[in-house]
Amino acid sequence: MTETILQAHPSASNLAKEYTEGQSFDWKSVEQVFTWSETSRVNMAYECVDRHVEAGKGSHQALHYIGDEGAITYTYQELQDEIGRWSNVLRQHGVKKGDFVFVFLPKHPLGYVAMLAAIRMGAVVGPLFEAFMEEAVRDRINDCEGEFLITNQSFMDRVDTAHIPSLRKIFLTDEKVESGEISIVSEAQEASPEADVTWVELDDGLNIHYTSGSTGKPKGVIHAHRAMIQQYQTGRWVLDLKEDDVYWCTAHPGWVTGTVYGVFAPLLNGVTIVIHGGRFSAEAWYEVIEQTKVTVWYSAPTAFRMLQAAGESVQSPYDLSSLRHILSVGEPLNPEVIHWGYRTIGLRIHDTWWMTETGAQLIANVPTRVVKPGSMGRPIPGIQAAVLDDEGSELPPGETGHLAIRTSWPSIMKEIWKNEEKYLSYFPYGDGWYIAGDLAYIDEDGYVFFQGRSDDMINSSGERIGPFEVESKLIEHEAVKEAGVIGKPDAVRGEIVKAFIALNDGYPETPELLEDIRLFVRGKLAAHAAPREIEVIDELPKTQISGKVLRRELKKRE
């Protein structure tokens, strides 16, 4: 089965049709797709929606929502009309080019309309995740002195208006509002669908997303309209989107994946977007795929692991035969998840790598190439990656160092809002290389293997050890449910590998079991990578949203 998974499946892919391995690629060749290549009038929202309507595809379904209130659908023509109405309301209330408009809504078509209407106005849109609490909302709006917010009444208890002095107007998506409040839904019903587009430059601000770090407040990453070039093309090549596809990205637009590959890339490619408004459950997700006939599915390793844990008995009643392409993002994809996907669904799961700051995918497993489980793939055409040492020199294949991308590419961030020092920190060796903060190695075939974040790398007796590789091997053991690996200070070795694990039901902790787990890793990897200490805990600390293991919390225990 492993060999079957590894095989490339290029026959029907856009990448195979449009690009021959080894040829040079120029991002300028993509520009002819967009209307601005002839008119010089730029706007992301126009290219996402209006362009398709003008090409005669207005009747094609754009959005297919499934939620508590049932199904809601929009064609591209209906979406264009609704965006026009909302744009007119925003203009009437003073929104203009360059303003920051925050959107704090659940996964629902109205959130997509709000984002695109703000962009159509030339504003910079700031999508906020629906589970953000008061401090997260306040800090983000205050950071860039946002003047406008689109939300709903149920979220207003998390909008601390008394401590957001820049907010001028709040638009609610509720039809019934109190006196003095603005119902954008009600006012849009009375507005004309015909609305002027605010034309911008390719380097004008498009959207802002905040990155969270282990220290300090989140930093505002601003992207420009030029990002559409790479977002469109990666939608074609990596997502392999075709016009008749039904596409589901499970991320909320409040995260960069949910904006770039939940809104922009699929709309730029003119496909149908599925939006699921309910909570996660294996049954609900499988039902969404069956009901809407999803063909391309983009989710996260945590979600796939949760589906795997639910068991094949939960999956088997559902018809998933519409699926033809599955992708993963957000954290490294463990090899066993790839094997699970192929065994139960019959499809490879393709890992992809990019960051908020990069604006689009840079490294990916694509249908035209062999998949090496554990690798996030190879650089896409037009992208050059390397691994550098601490002085900025390129390392040979197989050696771990700092993952670097040769600048520049169309979707690279425009700026870190009011923080040039932070922006420049991504280019410590000058403008030639962008340093991601990830540690990796590249093998002889050009495949990139993630080894951890720069501050997670373990140095034991002169050997550099990536925690992710050890974690992946640990959870291949039948007794291990989840694992987190850190470097523990050691007087002799500098650091030793310490593993925190949670055990599957039916496996009581015993010295014999822990030794078996240690020897399992030693036998699969190497002696220096085997944990010298293993501690069993009930549950590993993880991020609430993506489920990533918080290694910094594990380090605090030491």
CATH number, domain of 108, equals: 3.40.50.12780
Q: Is the pLDDT of residue 463 over 70?
A: no
What pLDDT sits at residue 215?
Answer: 44
- Does the residue 196 lie in any domain? yes
Across 248-274, average pLDDT: 97
Query: Which residues, at least 6 apart from 25, have a Cβ–Cβ distance to it below 8 Å?
Result: 19, 381, 382
15-24, 287-296, 544-553: lowest mean pLDDT where? 544-553
Residue 452 placed within a domain:
no
Predicted confidence (pLDDT) at residue 493 exceeds the cutoff of 80: no
Banded pLDDT at 41 (limits 50, 70, 90):
very high
Residue 339 resides in a domain: no
Give the start-end residues of each E strand in 111-214.
124-128, 148-151, 169-172, 182-183, 205-211
Residue pair 434/427 in contact (Cβ under 8 Å)? The answer is yes
- Domain carrying residue 464: 457-556
Amino acid at 466: G
Instruction: Determine the pLDDT at residue 117.
Output: 98
How far is it, in rounded angstroms, from Cα 453 to Cα 438?
4
Instruction: Give the mean pLDDT of the chain.
Output: 92
Domain boundary residue among 199, 224, 249?
Answer: 224
pLDDT score of 527 more than 90: no
CATH code at position 477: 3.30.300.30
- The H or E element containing residue 180 is none
Stronger pLDDT, 455 or 231, i.e. the higher one: 231
Kindly tell me if the per-residue pLDDT of 434 is higher than 70: yes
Q: In what order do the strands lie in the sheet with 448-453?
A: 385-388, 401-406, 433-442, 448-453
pLDDT beyond 70 at 1: no
pLDDT given for residue 423 in this prediction: 95
Burial tier of 119 (Cβ tally within 10 Å: 0-12, 13-18, 19+)? buried
Kindly state the tokens that stand for 237: 């090549």
**398 Ramachandran zone, left/alpha/beta (phi>0; psi -120 to 50):** left
Quote the CA–CA distance of 286 and 308 in Å, as a whole number. Answer: 12
64 within a domain of the structure (yes/no): no
Domain total for the chain? 2
> 529 pLDDT exceeds 60?
yes
User: Of 198, 224, 250, which marks where a domain is finished?
Assistant: 224
The percentage of residues in the chain with a pLDDT greater than 70, rounded to a whole number, is 96
Quick: pLDDT tens for 206-235.
999 998 654 457 899 999 999 999 999 999
What predicted TM-score, i.e. pTM, was given to this entire model?
0.85
> Nearest CA to 498 among 454, 528, 532, 527?
532
pLDDT at 536 over 60: yes
- Does pLDDT of 444 surpass 90? yes
The answer to whether the bond into 408 is cis (omega within 30° of 0) is: yes
User: What integer pLDDT is reported at residue 461 of this predicted model?
Assistant: 66
The predicted model gives 509-529 an average pLDDT of 89
Structure tokens at 318: 């559902």
Q: Which two tokens stand for residue 527?
A: 């002696």
pLDDT recorded at residue 131: 86
pLDDT surpassing 80 at residue 548? no
107 three-class SS? coil
For 208, the 3-state DSSP assignment is: strand
Classify residue 179: in a domain, yes or no: yes
| pLDDT (tens digit per residue) in 291-303 | 999 999 999 988 9
Domain boundary among 202, 224, 246: 224
Question: Looking at the domain assignment, is residue 39 inside a domain?
Answer: no
Please check whether residue 391 lies inside any domain of the structure. no
Residue 544 lies in a domain: yes
Strand ranges inside 272-353, DSSP E: 272-276, 296-299, 325-328, 349-353
- 8 Å CB contact between 235 and 260: no
3-class SS string, 439-499: EEEECCCCCEEEEEEHHHCEEECCEEECHHHHHHHHCCCCCEEEEEEEEEEECCCEEEEEE
